[in-house]
Amino acid sequence: MYVAVKGGEKAIESAHALLAEKRRGDPAVPDLSLEQIQEQLSFAVDRVMNEGSIYDRELAALAIKQAQGDLVEAAFLLRAYRTTLPRLATTEPIDTSSMTIRRRISATFKDLPGGQILGPTFDYTHRLLDFDLVNDSGTVPVNHANAPVESAMSKVVELLDREGLIEKEPAQEDGSMPADITRQPLTLPGERDVRLQCLARADEGFLLALGYSSQRGFGTAHPFVGEIRMGETAVVITPQELGFPIEIGEITVTECEMVNHFKGSKDHPPQFTRGYGLTFGYCERKAMAMAVVDRALRCRELDEEVKAPAQDEEFVLMHGDNVEASGFLQHLKLPHHVDFQADLVMVRQMRAETAGQDVGADSGKQKP
Amino acid sequence: MSEEEQTGTQNPEGSEKAAEASASNRFGPVRGYNFAYLDEQTKRMIRRVILKAIAIPGYQVPFGGREMPLAYGWGTGGIQITASIIGPGDVLKVIDQGSDDTTNAVSIRQFFRRTTGVKTTEKTVEATIIQTRHRIPETPLSADQIMVYQVPIPEPLRWLEPREVETRKMHALEEYGSMHVKLYEDITRHGRIAIGWNYPVLVNHRYVMSPSPIPKFDNPKMDRSPALQLFGAGREKRIYAVPPHTTVKSLDFEDHPFQVERWDRCCGLCGADDSFLDEIIVDDQGTRLFVCSDTDYCSQRRTEQAAKDRESPESAALADRLQEMAP
C-alpha cells in the first residue's frame, strides 16, 4: 500500500529515537549541561524566554538543549509548557526607572545625568574570529569600576517631557487591566497593550525586518534612540491576603525608548512621539526593532496614512508569532493527497474538455 | 464579538471542579497533566464557545486558544475541541486523509490515548468522537457521534479579502456577493466552478462557511447530518459548528448545479464505486492504483467480501499483491 504514510506508529517511534540519537551526537563528547547553556549561551536563552513568553532561564536552557539549538522549536517547547501553568498572581507593573543598570545609552544627548554606560556590548567589537576560544578560554580578567553606577537614573525621555517636547504617555486611564493575548483571542483593531504584547513575543527576525523596512522608506519612521537600558528590576506582587506589595525576585530586562520626529496633525501639535520596546533578558536588537514597529503601528491614533507593511496592524500582529508561523508553514509536510487528488481530477477534466476529448478522470497513464 | 474567558484561577467553582477532575484521574493520563491535557477551566471556556457556535450555525466564534504540545497546523483546533468534550466513556477515532494509519492520525490518537486512556478505534461505527483532517468517513454517521474537523483557515472569504476586520463585517452584513462573483468568474473562465476541495457552503441559510479542506465529494455528507459537527482552528483561534440536521448547501447556480467528482474506476482493492479514491503510483512507469481513501470503509468491504467468497482466485491474487506491497 501507500508505504510512505503507512505503518505510522512504528515509523514515528523510530523517528523519535533517531532524533534523540542525533540530539546527543557523539557520545564520546561530554553532554551539555543546562548550566553551560545558561551561562555561555545566554543570548539564546534570552531569546527563547521572550518568544516562549516565560521568564525561566533554566527551562529555556532545557528547551534549547532538547531542541538541539533550534531556537524557534525551543520557544515552542516553552510555550506549550507555560500554557499549562496556573496563574497564581499578577505582578505590579515593573518599574524600569529604578533598575539596577548594567547598560544605559542614549543617542540623543552627548551626556546626561548618570552618564552613558556601555556595559557588555558587541557594538564596538571587531568581528574577528577569536581563535583563542577554540580551546578552553579560561577566566577573563575585568577591571570593574571603583564606584557603582548611580542608582535610579532618570529616563532620558522624561527630560524631554519636562519641556513638553515629547508626547505624554497616557497611563491606563480607567484603571482597567491590560488585555492578555495568551488567554483571549486577538481581535482587531487592537489597542496598544495588545500590540505590545504581540510584539514582545513576536519573532525577532520578523520584527527586525519590519523595523528595517520602515527605516528604508516603507513607512515614515525617523527614530532616534532616546534611551536603551538593560539591567535587573524587581518583580513585585500584592497578595490579596496581605494587602501590601512584596518583592518576589528580580528579572533582567532590556528597555528601548525611541524618539520619533512628528510634524503634527489636526489633533496633535508638532512634537516628538514615542515607540516602546521591552524584552526579557538582554535582547537589545529585538527591543529596538520592537520600539520602531510599535511607533509605526501607532499611525491610526496619529492620523498617519497606512502605506507600509510595518504600519499595517493586521499584517504585523497576525504574522509575527513564530510558533504559529512555523507550525502552519511546516504543516505542508503533512499528507495532502486527498485535496491533491481532488485537484488532479478537476485539472484532468478541464484539460480533457479543452482538448475536446472525453477522457476519464483517472487517465493517469496518459502523457500530459 | 470576542468570547472572553470569564473563569480564572480565582473562580472558586472552577477550581473545585478542576480539583475534582484531577482527583478522578484514574484512567491513567500522563503524570503531571490533567485528563485530556487541558485544565478544566480551559475546557469549560472551550465548551462555552462550542455552545455558542452551535447556537449560531456556521458563525466563527473567537476563542482563547491555547498552545498545544503539537504544532500549529497539525490539528491543534480539533485537538482542543476533542480534549474539551472527551470523557472516560468515549471511543475515539482519528483519521487524516480518510485513513487511520497516516502518521498524523496515529500521533493524535496516541496523544489522546496517553492523556486520557480512553478506548480508540478504527471503525467508524464504533466511535463516539471522530476527529478528522481532510475527509468525512464514507460510512454514514449517526446521532450519537460527534465529528471534529481540523481547520487550517476558517474564513471562507479569506482568498477574496485578506483582512479579518473586513471579512467579519461581510459575514455580519451577509454580504456574500464577492463569493458569488468569484464562482461566476470561474464558470466564465473554466466552464465550471474550479474548486476541488474546501468548497464553500451556506449553513442554515445564513452563514457562508468553510467545510475545512475536505474534497467537495464530501460536502453532501454534511447536509442534515444526524451527527454534531464541530470545527476547530487553533492557530486562527476560531470554533464553529453545524448542529445535527442543519442544512448545508454547497454554493452553486441554478444552471450550474453543484456536482461531486466521479471516477471511471472502482477501488482496486474492494471494488467500491461510491467512495473517494486515492491515486497511488506503484512503479517508475507511472502505473496507477486507485484505492479507497477511507481505509476503514475499504477494509470493512473487503472483510465482508472475503467472508462471502473465499474461493475466488481473483481476490486471492489481490491479497497476494497486497502482501507484497505491505511494508
pLDDT tens digits, A116-134: 999 999 999 999 998 888 8
Are B140 and B294 in contact, with CB atoms under 8 Å apart? no
Are A134 and A181 in contact, with CB atoms under 8 Å apart? no
**CA separation for the pair B110, A8 (Å, rounded):** 11
H or E stretch covering B21 = helix B12-23
Angle at B134 between CA B132 and CA B139, to 5 degrees: 65
Q: How many CB atoms lie within 10 A of CB A161?
A: 16
Residue B236 to chain A, least CA–CA distance (Å) = 9
Angle at A72 between CA A68 and CA A77, to 5 degrees: 75
What are the structural domain ranges in chain A?
12-82, 96-121+149-326
Instruction: Give the closest residue to A297 by CA, choosing from A285, A280, A279, A315.
Output: A315
Q: B109: pLDDT confidence band, cut at 50, 70 and 90?
A: very high
Average pLDDT over residues B211-223: 96
Residue A191 touches partner B, C-beta closer than 8 Å: no
| Residue A137 cell numbers, joined | 578560554
Q: C-alpha distances in angstroms, B190 versus A360, B216, B219?
A: 18, 17, 21
Q: Is B298 a catalytic residue?
A: yes
Predicted pLDDT at A363: 44
User: What is the 8-class DSSP label of residue B217?
Assistant: G
Beta-bridged to residue A258, according to DSSP, are A225, A275
Q: B263 and A362 in contact by Cβ < 8 A?
A: yes
Q: From edge to edge, which strands make up the β-sheet containing A100-105?
A: A100-105, A223-237, A246-262, A271-280
CB-nearest to A335 from B96, B152, B325 is B96
Q: From edge to edge, which strands make up the β-sheet containing B119-120?
A: B61-62, B238-242, B228-233, B146-150, B129-133, B91-96, B119-120
CB-nearest to A339 from B2, B76, B215 is B215
Q: Is B28 a catalytic residue?
A: no
Calculate the CA dihedral of residues A148, A150, A155, A156 and round it to 10 degrees: -90
Q: B164 and A11 in contact by Cβ < 8 A?
A: no
| Residue A206 cell numbers, joined | 520578523
Say how many Å lie between the first and final Cα of chain B, rounded.
51
Residue A184 touches partner B, C-beta closer than 8 Å: yes
Are A254 and A284 in contact, with CB atoms under 8 Å apart? yes
What percent helix, strand, coil does chain B show, rounded to 5?
35, 15, 50
CB-nearest to B280 from A2, A189, A344 is A2
Q: B321: pLDDT confidence band, cut at 50, 70 and 90?
A: low
Are A335 and B75 in contact, with CB atoms under 8 Å apart? no
Which residues of chain A does B281 touch, with a Cβ-Cβ cutoff of 8 Å? 364
Q: How many CB atoms lie within 10 A of CB B130?
A: 24
Scanning A83-191, the segments in alpha helix (DSSP H) are 156-161
pLDDT tens digits, A153-185: 888 888 888 778 888 776 656 667 888 998 888
**CA separation for the pair A153, A112 (Å, rounded):** 10
Q: Is B266 a catalytic residue?
A: no
**CA separation for the pair A332, B279 (Å, rounded):** 19
Predicted pLDDT at A360: 47
At B307, give phi and psi (nearest 5°).
-65, -40
Helix, strand or coil, per DSSP, at residue B278:
strand
Q: B280 and A1 in contact by Cβ < 8 A?
A: yes
**CA separation for the pair A8, A15 (Å, rounded):** 10
Q: A338 and B194 in contact by Cβ < 8 A?
A: no
Q: B97 and A337 in contact by Cβ < 8 A?
A: yes
Q: Is B270 a catalytic residue?
A: yes
Predicted pLDDT at A170: 67
* ipTM score: 0.79
- CB < 8 Å from B in window 198-257 of A: none
Q: What is the mean pLDDT of chain A?
A: 88
Residue B155 touches partner A, C-beta closer than 8 Å: no
Residue B197 touches partner A, C-beta closer than 8 Å: yes
Cα nearest neighbour of A335 on chain B: B97
Are B67 and A79 in contact, with CB atoms under 8 Å apart? yes
Q: B72: pLDDT confidence band, cut at 50, 70 and 90?
A: very high
Are A111 and A143 in contact, with CB atoms under 8 Å apart? no
- CB < 8 Å from A in window 86-145 of B: 96-99, 101-107, 110, 133-135
Q: How many CB atoms lie within 10 A of CB A3?
A: 11
Residues of chain A where predicted confidence (pLDDT) is lower than 70:
1-7, 170-175, 357-368
Task: State yes or no: pLDDT of B28 exceeds 60.
Answer: no
Name residue, grid cell 486512556: B117
CB-nearest to B134 from A11, A188, A338 is A338
pLDDT tens digits, B225-278: 999 999 999 999 999 999 999 999 999 999 999 999 888 889 999 999 999 999
- CB < 8 Å from B in window 34-73 of A: none
**CA separation for the pair B296, A38 (Å, rounded):** 50
Domains identified in chain B and CATH numbers: 12-157+194-250 (3.40.50.11310), 277-325 (no CATH)
pLDDT tens digits, B272-318: 999 999 988 888 888 889 999 999 999 999 999 888 876 666 666 66
Name residue, grid cell 577591571: A143
Conformational region of residue B271, where left means phi above 0, alpha means psi within -120 to 50, and beta covers everything else: left
